Amino acid sequence: MKRCFVGIGVLAALVLAGCTEEKAETKPVEINEIELAKEDAGLTLDITIPEADGLDVFNQHAVKLGKELEAAVRNSETAYLEESADGALHADGHMDFAVKFLDEQTASVLIEAYLYEAGMAHGRTYLEPLNYDLRTGAAIELADLFEGDNYVADLSELAKVEIETSEVKEQLTKPFTEIKENQKFYLIPNNLVLVFDQYEITAGVAGPQKILIAKSDLKNLKDLYN
C-alpha cells in the first residue's frame, strides 16, 4: 500500500496554532513510498525507499542505499551458490523507512535495513538517516544544525549523561568518550537522536544504538531545527 507523508506549510501551521500573524505560505512536501525490489525466489528481497517531491539529491541518496542493499544480497547469493553444493542458505535483504520529522524547511527520514549474506553466521541491521533542507535541497550534516564549532563537545557530554542512565551503559565495549564530527543523527519533534552503528560502541549482538538528546538541552541551534 502506498504511503504519503505531507509537511505542513508555514501558514497552515500558524492557523493550527491559533496564530494570526501573516506569513508566506510554503508548499507542502510529499514523501512517498517506492517499492524498489521485491523477490522471494530462494533469496529474499523486500526493499522500500522514500521519494520526496522535488528533492532530487534526497531521492538519489535513497535509491543508492536501496541499490547497494540489493546488490549485496544478489552478489552474496551468487557467490554462495557457486561455492556450496547444497544451496541450503539464502541471502536476505529488507529495507523500509519512517518519516521522523517534517516541517516547512526540514525533512528527517530514517531508513532501517537488514542484510544477511548467504553462508554467514549472522545478519546485520543498520540505520541510515536522511536529513535534508527543503529550501535548498541539500543534505544536512550535524554541524549544519549549530552555530559555532562546539557541538561535538556539547553533544558528547549530553550523550554521556544519557548513556550513564540507560541500559546502553552495560553493553558498551569500551568507555564512551565522544561522538564523531559527522555522527549519524535524525530529528524528532522534541529530541535529536544520535545513531551509532552496530559494533560502533556496543557489542554486535546489541545492534545499532540510538541516544536521544532533548531539544531543550541543545545550545546554539540554527533555524533548521529551532
Q: Looking at residues 142-156, what average pLDDT do you find?
A: 96
Q: Rounded mean pLDDT of 110-116? A: 98
pTM: 0.87
**The C-alpha cell that represents 73 in the structure block:** 544480497
pLDDT at 190 over 50: yes
Whether 91 and 166 map to the same domain: the answer is no
Of the candidates 101, 122, 121, 99, the one whose C-alpha atom is nearest the C-alpha of residue 112 is 99
Q: Which residues contact 113 (CB under 8 A, 6 or more apart)?
A: 65, 69, 93, 94, 95, 96, 125, 126, 127, 128
| Other beta carbons within 10 Å of 107 | 24
| Mean pLDDT, residues 83-96 | 89
Nearest-angstrom CA–CA distance, 49 and 31: 10
What is the span of the domain harbouring residue 34?
1-137
Would you state the pLDDT for residue 195?
98
Looking at 108, 137, 166, which one is the last position of a domain? 137
Of 103, 118, 137, the position where a domain reaches its end is 137
β strands within the chain, DSSP E: 4-6, 30-41, 43-52, 92-102, 106-116, 124-133, 184-188, 191-196, 209-214
Domain co-membership, 120 together with 146:
no
Asked if pLDDT for residue 11 goes beyond 50, the answer is no
Residue 22 in domain? yes
> Would the pLDDT of 179 be above 90?
yes
Where does the pLDDT of residue 92 fall: very low under 50, low under 70, confident under 90, or very high at 90 and above?
Answer: very high
- For residues 81 and 157, membership in a common domain is answered with no
Return the percentage of the chain with pLDDT > 70, whole number: 88
- Assign 163 a pLDDT band (cuts: 50, 70, 90): very high
| Within-domain flag for 226 | no
User: Which helix (H) or strand (E) is 162 found in, with range?
Assistant: helix 151-164
Each residue of 55-80: pLDDT tens digit?
999 999 999 999 999 999 999 999 99
Which of residues 137, 165, 183 is at a domain's end? Answer: 137
Total structural domains within the chain:
2
Amino acid present at 178? E
d(CA 134, CA 53): 10
Query: Which has more confidence, 95 or 87?
Result: 95
What pLDDT band is residue 41 in, cutting at 50, 70 and 90? Answer: confident
> Residue type at 76?
S
Confidence of residue 26 (pLDDT cuts 50, 70, 90): low
